[in-house]
Chains A and B, each alone.
Chain A
Amino acid sequence: MEPFILKKHTARKTTVMPKDSPAVPEQLFIQECKKPDLDGFQYPLPVRKCEYTCYAEGENGVLWLGSTNGVTRFDPGADYEEDKIMYFSARRHLEEKKVEKILADGDGAWVLTGEYVTHIEMPVMPCEQKAEILLDETNKYVMRRGMVSQKELRERRVLESAYPYTSSDNDGSFTSAHAAGEVFHYAVYRDKYGENHPKTVKARADATKAVEACLLLMYIHGREEGFVARSYHLPDEPVPDDGFFYERKGDKAYCVKTTASEKTGRTGEAVDCTHKIPERLAKLYTDLGYTEDGIVYKADTSSDEITSHFMQMWVAHDILGSVDPELDDIIKDACTRTMTHIINCGFELHEHNGKPTTWAKWSKRYFENDMLGYVDAPLNAAELLSYLKVTMHITGEKGIWQQTYDSLIKEGYADLTTKHFDRFFQGAVCCDCAPEEDLMYGDNMLATLAFWMLCSLEKDEALLKQYRDGYRSWAPSLLREHMPGYDFPYLLSVPDAGIDVERDALWFYRNELSRLCSSVVLKRHDVPMKKKRNKDEDNRPEISALLPQDERFITKYDRNPFNYNPESWHPETTVEGCYVFTFAYWLGRYYGIIGEEE
């Protein structure tokens, strides 16, 4: 396939400052405030016409419109229809809603709102540069010992005030996607610049660190029988009261007191942790002066983590394996141990006490036991089959892996993978809601990874057809997000996928230059709110249009992008990792789906 060539595109950069900052031009305050004449204006505007109170004319016919609720930029000459109207709202881009004055400045504008001024700049840049900017922000402010999920800030909007620690249920899942993106990043630079170019060397170092961080989660627990931890904390990091944690002391780990552990009587229970952590992985904390003692890891791991780990091991093996045999050996060992554990535990992930974790079950007894298992079965069946395919691929062995795979096929696991749409719809209706309101949005990523792995590795035509049919059964929920991180693996896996890569290009173009979370205005005049089908009042309704990335809330791959929340979502004290952008971007570059202008 010919790559879609991404062009340089306007990004938005906003800097908020107190109005008495010396950087603010005097002209802004003496600017006359004239109401724009919007009679007959032929584009939907995010604010009612009567609420626009001032305007400024920028370069090339651009109009900056100030209102009682944010700034609208109208660019009649924009290449894309979607770029003609851009909205800047509080508090993502402005400190307050009501615009008092506005002054055009080159391709940008100065905006006065109460006691603050925002300087809006519109730099033109290639998406590759955007990926580098986002990675740089993640490396500086989000990453901790190679893991990327998110970080909290002590001060609003001040990235430098990020706490050195954080807590996450899914460090493995998020870091795996980040790692895969960076591995692709390395491969693209290697092919473009050569192995020894400084850009390639840095990309390889970033990729390797992320992969090592993922692999460490597969060893940090020290359990002999194979297990995967969700996350881990250093001795001086606070442990949240959220689930099951084990503190390592010598060759045992003890369950830390939390509400969950007290409720289940597990506080203080001891688990062996005698399995040695590969030294190379341990350096992630030993280089900081720590040992295993006092490290606290999080257990009760879910299938999200396992699926993501198998994906990153597959990608890392294929691309880094040949240039880093030591890393590849660790990958093979981690893969083998995890797969062995799952098989020995009857296709479940078990805690040391022999009980399955809450959400890592791929067994028939789970599928046939209750409604939840019945609905989960198609996805979980696909996941388990994909783990076996990846294990065979990475180890180069068949043996028990192939036997297990064949046996699962006989039991109907491949057939199950095709039944998602029916069962999910049925499950949603049973809960009195529309599928899109009920969807566990993180499942979209899991389905993407599982089916992408299966469709890439399965050579048997009949089975491949079933897996493609299974992937197609996810299309209504996956593809409505128009997210390249979903669209590109789908395009690679399903012939005649019908993916609009040009629309995906817009997704890249309209991503912010920072992953600092903040509220955006979603009660807009130009976007309908969608009345919810869900009779459960707690569930949020949706909006009827997919807003561009720079006008909607910043999140990971696990939230409904159509969610409607009238005002606030985040108070500018959280910064997310960059993988949502970089995974999709570098995967697209690596597989030749997208390219950049030379």
Chain B
Amino acid sequence: MMVAVIKNYDIQAIKHAVCLAEKHEKFKINGLFAGEIHQLKKDAPELYGKVNELISVGRWNPCAGMWSSCGEKISEEALCRNILYSAQELKKEYHVFYGVDYYNASLAKCVYAGRFDAAIIEAAKQNHWLECADGSRVLVLAADSFTDVLSLNDEKAKENEFMTFEEYSKAVLLSPLDLPTVKSGFEPKAYTDDEKKLLDFERAAVQKKEDVREQVKALWLSREKCTADVQPKDNVKIDVSGVELVAFKLAEDGTGDTVIRVRETDGRETPVRLICDDIEAAFRFEILPYETITFRVDAQGYVTETFIQE
């Protein structure tokens, strides 16, 4: 069984993959991040249509989770936003995260909170469990056994069986595993100073009942600095000192619900009370050491603990 991949955003490689898929009905291909698919729509609409069709029938597994193939270190909140905006673009739910690198110590936490079961990481040298400081864990799969689609011809495409990332991950999970666990430590800050400005801008907009979702998304994905210098009202009261507010935003689905993300930083399991009178939210919850939790508050103040993709 082979896992065929498109290694880079390369129109020729994409065309080759589509061609193989059209000729050989059992052929499956993996590759392209959400941002690359978004770009393909502009660069080659017809080709995009074919890729999209293959995605919809499960024969093309995009690289879910990250917006692009950037391998730089990024913050925990930037990782969350990648997962969120990638999910928006891909629209379909995937169980396997694909990344170039580990990005930061919160990878396992974010991947798990993004509802992924496994992560394929190009930088991984072997399969292993990755465990975050809050106890979240994910199965990390190395990518070195994957086959570049450009090395496949018609004959190879015909005579081999192919798997998607999802199928590959499932096959690994169904076998007896005796893997080492790598502990990734604690990321002290959820965001950079520049990202804090963007988070403040976003929060202030919610308080002023302004919808800045598209603007915020563009800034996160382009990694440009937010030039607005706003101080939102301190409208969220948290009764314990080791739990910080990370994000306060509108839900991406346009319902008007508010999304609140909090993070434990002292390394203590603790019961917490959070009150935000502006949105009639007053609730309590348990948070584990170093855990990050995303909540969604509806118009009547009822709260759901949810995933990153909100």
Contact = CB atoms under 8 A, between A and B. Distances in A.
Interface string A477-510: 0001000000000000000000000000000000
B188 interface: no
Contact of B301 (A48, A82, A432, A527): A48
B282 A528 contact: no
Contacts of A45: 282
Contact of B305 (A44, A422, A531): A531
Interface stretch (A5-13, A423-431, A454-462, A463-471): A423-431
A544 interface: yes
A293 interface: no
Contact of B283 (A40, A82, A430, A528): A528
A545 B301 contact: no
B302 A525 contact: yes
Contacts of B280: 48-49
Interface in B149-201: 170, 173-174, 176-179, 181
A138 to B, nearest CB: 31
Contacts of A523: 302
Contacts of A531: 304-307
Interface in A510-547: 523, 525-531, 533, 544-546
Contacts of A43: 273, 282
A480 B287 CA distance: 10
Contacts of A432: 95, 117
A422 B300 contact: no
Interface string B291-310: 00101000011111111000
B284 A527 contact: yes
Given A44-B282, A546-B286, A422 B302 contact: no
B139 A429 contact: yes
Contacts of A426: 139, 173, 177
Contact of B135 (A429, A476, A525): A476
A165 interface: no
A526 B129 contact: no
B173 A430 contact: yes
B305 A525 contact: no
A475 to B, nearest CB: 9
A422 B181 contact: yes
B282 A545 contact: no
A545 B179 CA distance: 33
B305 A42 contact: no
Given A422-B129, A426-B139, A525 B283 contact: yes
Max chain A Cβ within 10 angstroms of own Cβ: one of B177, B178, B305: B305
B275 interface: yes
Contacts of B303: 527-529, 544
Contact of B285 (A40, A422, A544): A544
Nearest to A51: B300
A533 B286 contact: no
Interface in B250-300: 271, 273-275, 277, 280, 282-286, 293, 295, 300
Contacts of B306: 531
A429 B275 contact: no
B174 A544 contact: no
A429 B139 CA distance: 10
A557 interface: no
Contact of A429 (B173, B179, B301, B307): B173
Contacts of B118: 429
A426 B237 CA distance: 38
Given A525-B301, A525-B302, A545 B285 contact: yes
A293 B274 CA distance: 63
Interface in B123-161: 129, 135, 137, 139
A531 B296 CA distance: 10
B41 interface: no
Nearest to A535: B93
A591 interface: no
Given A44-B275, A426-B139, A544-B285, A528 B301 contact: no
A371 interface: yes
A374 interface: yes
Interface in A299-316: none
A531 B259 CA distance: 14
A529 B305 contact: yes
Nearest to A562: B286
Contacts of B178: 419
A173 to B, nearest CB: 28
Contacts, number: 82
A545 B181 contact: no
Nearest to A368: B176
B283 A526 contact: yes
Nearest to A371: B174
Given A44-B273, A44-B283, A374-B176, A528 B137 contact: no
A595 B139 CA distance: 45
A280 B67 CA distance: 73
B115 interface: yes
Contacts of B295: 528
A303 B280 CA distance: 49
Contacts of A530: 304-305
A199 B280 CA distance: 53
A168 B228 CA distance: 66
Nearest to B288: A480
A371 B175 CA distance: 8
Interface in A29-62: 40, 42-45, 48-49
Interface string A407-437: 0000000000001001101100110100000
B305 A544 contact: yes
B305 A528 contact: yes
Nearest to B277: A40
B168 to A, nearest CB: 14
A422 B177 contact: yes
A422 B237 CA distance: 37
Contacts of B285: 527-528, 544-545
A426 B127 CA distance: 13
B242 to A, nearest CB: 15
B139 A528 contact: no
A546 B269 CA distance: 13
Nearest to B181: A422
Nearest to A475: B135
A429 B282 contact: no
Contacts of B177: 422-423, 426
Contacts of B302: 523, 525, 529
A44 B284 contact: yes
Contacts of B273: 43-44
Nearest to B297: A528
Max chain B Cβ within 10 angstroms of own Cβ: one of A42, A523, A526, A533: A526
Contacts of A544: 285-286, 293, 303, 305
A526 B283 CA distance: 4
A42 to B, nearest CB: 7
Contacts of A423: 177
B286 A545 contact: yes
B114 to A, nearest CB: 11
27 contacts: A40-B277, A42-B237, A44-B283, A44-B284, A48-B280, A48-B300, A48-B301, A49-B280, A82-B271, A426-B173, A432-B95, A523-B302, A525-B302, A527-B285, A527-B303, A528-B305, A529-B304, A531-B304, A531-B305, A531-B306, A533-B115, A544-B293, A544-B305, A545-B271, A545-B286, A546-B271, A546-B286
Given A528-B305, A529-B305, A545-B284, 14 more contacts: A45-B282, A82-B271, A422-B177, A422-B179, A422-B181, A423-B177, A425-B129, A426-B173, A432-B117, A526-B282, A530-B304, A544-B285, A544-B303, A546-B271
Q: In the A-B complex, list the 3 residue pairs whose CB atoms are closest, starting with the nearest.
A: A528-B303, A44-B282, A544-B285
